[in-house]
Amino acid sequence: MAKRQTQIPNVVVVGSSNTDLVIQSAKLPKPGMTVLGGSYQVIPGGKGANQAVAAARTGAQVVFVANIGRDDFGNDALARFEREGIGTRFIVRDRNAPSGVALIMVGDKGRNLISVAASSNNFLANAHIEKAKPAFANARCCLIQLETPLPAVRAALRLSKNQGVFTILDPAPCRRLAKSLLRLVDLITPNELELAELTGMPVKTKRNIEYAGEELLQTGVGEVIVTCGARGVCHLSGQGADWFSAPKVKAVDTVGAGDCFNGSLASALSNGLVMDEAIRFAILTSARSVTLQGAQSSFPNLKPSNCD
């Protein structure tokens, strides 16, 4: 049983849980190539789980809605969520599908290759979302990604709207999305490549990014935040575009940086920060995360009130 089943959530995270099997290499292989790797690690991951942990470590009360296997990876994940203080009442244990696994190779300068076997994540269903309805009743934000089936994503977005919960969609792994789904999204947070995929527009320059972001706003999305690595973050709304600079850091491992950003952003917004303040806080936490190895293991324990 979870340790905090009665908590009132600030943030509901709906998404995936994986175990990352990571090899550190001097360089990444090209197709048909074998390279000798260095260290090997088994690291908790999955975009939903990562974002739930990031939100919890940055001051949110989090409830996680997910589907994980009845296997050792699933058992370890459940125990880990409870240690982080994340509500697990609405995590389903799948009787048939194994827990998700990601195979990750990390090369020089933190660059990486990732392949994911979604497994139990593929069976998160509308019925699971409906059973989790009590978690949405007092939540401020619902954070969702695309590593679970689109019907479940749509169901979570619709339920959030019906409950008056602010919706944040991280469109990763990216795919084209129907306007009817995008109209349920208050804030979408693509990176540059995802923005290009969503809009079919170039993203080489800052002005390109602004044009593409404006195109995305036309679909009915409330606001857009584009994460652009060293170029910073672009926030687009009906009031125009604003750019936020990123601090210069020595990147060791960029795996999970986007998840750290999204979880921290949801936490900051749910704790009452205005959008500009929340973006700056999320930039700070994600910048710190890339200076350490791993995804969840790199996420800082940092509250919005002490982020100076």
Query: Cα–Cα distance between 211 and 226 in angstroms, integer?
Result: 12
First to last CA, the chain: 37
Amino acid at 252: V
Query: Cα–Cα distance between 70 and 184 in angstroms, integer?
Result: 33
pLDDT tens digits along 116-175: 887 999 999 999 999 999 999 989 999 999 999 999 999 999 999 999 999 999 999 998
| Structure token digits, residue 80 | 């880990």
Which sequence positions are flagged as catalytic? 259
Average pLDDT, the chain: 91
Phi-psi region of 194 (alpha: psi -120 to 50; beta: other; left: phi over 0): alpha
Q: Domain ranges for the chain, please list them.
A: 11-16+47-98+121-298
Query: Cα–Cα distance between 269 and 246 in angstroms, integer?
Result: 19
pLDDT at 64: 98
At 103, the pLDDT band (50, 70, 90 cuts) reads confident
DSSP per-residue codes, 58-77 = TT--EEEEEEEESSHHHHHH
User: What CATH superfamily is the domain 11-16+47-98+121-298?
Assistant: Ribokinase (3.40.1190.20)
How many CB atoms neighbour CB 274 within 10 A? 9
Least confident piece of the model among 53-62, 77-86, 201-210, 282-291: 282-291
pLDDT at 104: 83
Q: Cα separations (Å) of 132 from 152, 276, 284?
A: 12, 31, 32
